[in-house]
Amino acid sequence: MYIPFDQLPPQARIWVYQASRPLTEAEQAEVSPVLERFATEWSSHGKGLQSSATLLHGRFLVLANNEDATAASGCSIDASVRFVRELEQRLGLSFMDRTQLAFQREGEVELVSMPELKSKVAAGDIDKNTLYFDTLITTYGDLQQAWPRPAGNSWLSRYF
């Protein structure tokens, strides 16, 4: 069962996938109904999930499920990964590359590769207050309250 994204409970589980490039406005318009259809049809062992899906900042695909209603099973999570892979093929981009980190700089999303991170920190381009889009967050409440969050308040704190 589809739930509008802004009506999810704070404890809803989320999965965040970061696109390797920004989606164009045309791609976003094309994908929006596909996301809603997936969330409507997403199920666990034949039982519909209370789920939602959206694109944020033209770059982040977020799938969500209200686990208090029905928990996502391994099979339903596998189905979501297949769905994301299909979107990758359709759009000609990657949502699965975890070697790129996304920061908010001057109102824009900037990707920094893991190998570049130390040099960017050493040069002062990234510091503990630089806003970071942590794709490891797991609840809708965290997304609403602390996303993006200062890099120093994430797993990146060890670099400062």
Over residues 42-77, the pLDDT tens digits come to 877 777 788 999 999 999 999 999 988 877 878 888
Contact predicate 63/8, CB 8 Å: no
- Rounded distance, CA 55 to CA 131, Å? 19
End-to-end CA distance of the chain: 43
- Confidence at residue 87, expressed as pLDDT on a 0 to 100 scale: 97
DSSP structural state of residue 157: G
Total-model pTM:
0.92
* 3-state secondary structure (DSSP) of residue 52: strand
CA distance 28 to 54: 10
Tens-digit pLDDT profile for residues 122-142: 999 999 999 999 999 999 999
Query: Residue 12's pLDDT band (boundaries 50, 70, 90)?
Result: very high
The predicted structure's pLDDT at residue 46: 73
Q: Convert the pLDDT of each residue in 87-124 to its tens digit.
A: 999 999 999 999 999 999 988 999 999 999 999 999 99
Q: Which helix (H) or strand (E) holds 141?
A: helix 140-145
- The whole-number average pLDDT for the span 143-153 is 96
Average pLDDT, the chain: 93
